Structure 1
Amino acid sequence: MTVFFDDIDRWDGESYGTYEVTETEILDFAERYDPQWFHTDPDRAADSIYGDLIASGWHTAAMSMRLFVDGFLAETATLGAKGLDHLRWPKPVVPGDELTIHSTIHGVDEASSTDDYGVVRWGVETTANDGAKTVLAIEALVLVARE
């Protein structure tokens, strides 16, 4: 069933996921996109303030997006996004973390809506290890088609 803009409030407060983070994936992403030592050097990272290799925040955002698409957006009449607000990485992601996301509708921007679509302010929180720590908090402005 495709979820359209006018039905979106029924999907408030949903959780999706899981995604297991591996050291290999952290290293591969970091080498390609964010080659800072705490993402690329496990030995040096073990002696850092983090105590372990950590995923790039951008990697955390990408993994979260995958969970959101697989869990919900693939079944939604989305048309992309206008942007992101309030991006935070409260705790780092480390190898072995298992991620899940929880989405909450923060509002609908009627001023940006048209007859063809509406704009939904979606809060997404990514947690690791059954909610033991929050690793990403973001608000996305998503365009959703009207039926």
Structure 2
Amino acid sequence: MTVFLDDIDRWDGESHGTYAVTEAEIVEFAERYDPQWFHTDPDRAADSIYGDLIASGWHTASMSMRLFVDGFLEETAVLGAKGLDHLRWPAPVVPGDELTLHSTVHGVDESDGTDDYGVVRWGVETTAGEKTVLALEALVLVKRA
């Protein structure tokens, strides 16, 4: 069943899926996109302020996006996105973390001059156990039925 704009409250307050983070994936992503030593060198990272290798914030955002698509967006009449607001990484992701994404509908804005879609302001929080590792507000274009 596809969820359209008028039914978007169906996804309010939902949590879906988990994502297991591995050291190999952290290093692979970082070597390609964010090659800072605390993402790529486990030995050096062990002596850092983090005490462990940490995932790039952009990697955390990418893993969160995967959970968001799998848990919410693939069943929603999404037309794209206008951007993100308030992106934060309050705590680092480390190897062995299991991520869970939580979402809350913050509101729906009318579209720019069309009745075909609206913009859902989705509050997104990704957690690893008790710690929040990502928080943002996604501005998602969702089609009307």
With normalisation by structure 2, the TM-score equals 0.97
Q: Which stretch has the larger CA shift, 107-116 or 65-74?
A: 107-116
User: Residue 15 of structure 1 aligns with which residue?
Assistant: 15
Residue segments in structure 1 that go unaligned for 5+ positions in a row: none
Root-mean-square deviation (CA, aligned residues, Å) is 0.9
**Counterpart contact for 2:110–2:117, Cα < 8 Å:** no
* Structure 2: distance between partners of 1:51 and 1:118: 44
User: Residue 140 of structure 2 aligns with which residue?
Assistant: 142
Matched, 1:38 2:38: yes
Shift of 1:114: 2.4
Shift of 1:30: 0.1
The DSSP-based 3-state class of the residue aligned with 2:74 is helix
**Counterpart contact for 1:113–1:119, Cα < 8 Å:** no
Q: How many residues align?
A: 145
* Structure 1: distance between partners of 2:89 and 2:19: 17
* Structure 2: distance between partners of 1:78 and 1:143: 6
* Structure 1: distance between partners of 2:21 and 2:13: 24
Shift of 1:112: 3.7
Q: Which amino acid aligns with 1:137?
A: A
**Counterpart contact for 1:112–1:119, Cα < 8 Å:** no
User: Residue 93 of structure 1 aligns with which residue?
Assistant: 93
* Structure 2: distance between partners of 1:40 and 1:91: 18
With normalisation by structure 1, the TM-score equals 0.96
* Structure 2: distance between partners of 1:85 and 1:127: 18
Sort the Cα spacing of 1:119 and 1:43 in 2 relative to 1 into closer, same or farther, 3 A.
Answer: same
Map Cα deviations across residues 64-102 of structure 1 (whole Å, 9 max, x no partner): 000010111000000010010000000000000000010
* Structure 2: distance between partners of 1:98 and 1:113: 42
User: Residue 82 of structure 1 aligns with which residue?
Assistant: 82
